[in-house]
Copies of this chain bind each other. A is one copy, B any other.
């Protein structure tokens, strides 16, 4: 019986995502909005036809990891390194600003408890790398300079978010935190991000060399997915988000990836790298919509008491604060105003990362129903509005940025 339910859920998820995605594209809205709307419609917010379970959630997580793998494939490491300083400024600014202002607003203005205020600040720090990347792709801006800054900043942001989440969780359990543990996790992640692409590159080249001698079909899809899953597991083991493993594997297989010291050791096979792209594309296209539908499924809008004025006003405050503080991060870098706006708008979507914070806050009993509702509204608004704003912004001011594109 269980298997039947999963098949039906998959049918509903993939079909609704496709229909609403196409409708969104037809209405000139980023298709990812249609996919998230599919989740809102199918999930507890509206129809309740699809229930989240472990199978669907795992498929969604694989979808996110594969999406980041694809982003890595398209990323030029040397340009990523060059944007490093700007990206860290955006990430740090866009992390500290919502954390501090969110905390201050909750603690002093709304007079909430210390732990609760910290959790609210934490929820506001998140940047959804998945939504951000998909929107830029939908708008065909994912290879622009500002997109490079945004992708790098979102990756940093995700790392900071995971560390903060671990700290807050510790704090909620023991009432204190250990900065040494947090430092350890950060060092692990840094070592992982430095070594993983190199190891992945060596492994991929080994697969490539074996490719000609393989006797059974399907070498590329099985081994490349294995490679990606291996690094996702490794990232998870060092305490990093699993998607970083996908990103690292993608970077390593990118056509522009090079190893300064190991050039003699590894010889890239250009045709092989191109075949990887061709074989992986249908798999990536199959899994990623599941992720965005699951984001929508996780947003339970029925949990919100829409008639409470307190919920309404707090939500307005937090939405403005959440958007403004990400913009503030973008304004730390020395670039044109248009460039800063593009970066700031791209950093706004909270989506899945914010939901993880909110869920943890609810499950640990820190968030009561009202605060949880406020957070859900804030996450929904910061996920749904920025893609429209970004679309409008590029339509109106995109020509100011085109000179800087690839």
Contact = CB atoms under 8 A, between A and B. Distances in A.
Q: What class of interface size applies to chain A in its complex with B? A: 35 or more
B222 A14 contact: yes
Nearest to A14: B226
Given A18-B226, A229-B7, A282-B283, A31 B215 contact: yes
Contact of A286 (B31, B61, B221, B232): B221
Contacts of A4: 233, 236-237, 242
Interface in A216-242: 216-223, 225-226, 229-230, 232-233, 236-237, 242
A22 B233 contact: no
Given A18-B226, A283-B282, A58 B216 contact: no
A236 B3 contact: yes
A15 interface: yes
Nearest to A227: B11
Contacts of A233: 4, 7-8, 11
Interface string A46-68: 00000001110110010000000
A172 interface: no
B280 A282 contact: yes
Interface of A is mostly: helix
Nearest to A280: B282
Given A2-B54, A215-B22, A236-B3, A226 B283 contact: no
Contact of A218 (B11, B242, B279, B286): B286
Number of copies: 2
A31 B222 CA distance: 14
B226 A11 contact: yes
A219 B289 CA distance: 11
Interface in A1-39: 2-4, 6-8, 10-11, 14-15, 17-18, 21-22, 25-26, 31
Given A2-B54, A18-B222, A18-B226, 10 more contacts: A6-B58, A7-B236, A10-B225, A15-B226, A31-B215, A55-B58, A218-B286, A221-B285, A221-B286, A283-B283
21 contacts: A3-B61, A4-B237, A4-B242, A7-B229, A7-B233, A11-B229, A14-B226, A14-B229, A18-B222, A21-B216, A22-B216, A25-B215, A31-B215, A31-B216, A54-B55, A138-B216, A217-B285, A221-B282, A221-B286, A282-B282, A282-B283
Enumerate the 6 nearest inter-chain pairs by beta-carbon distance, A residue then B residue, closest first.
A218-B285, A25-B215, A7-B233, A221-B282, A4-B236, A14-B226
Interface of A: 2-4, 6-8, 10-11, 14-15, 17-18, 21-22, 25-26, 31, 53-55, 57-58, 61, 138, 214-223, 225-226, 229-230, 232-233, 236-237, 242, 279-283, 285-286, 289
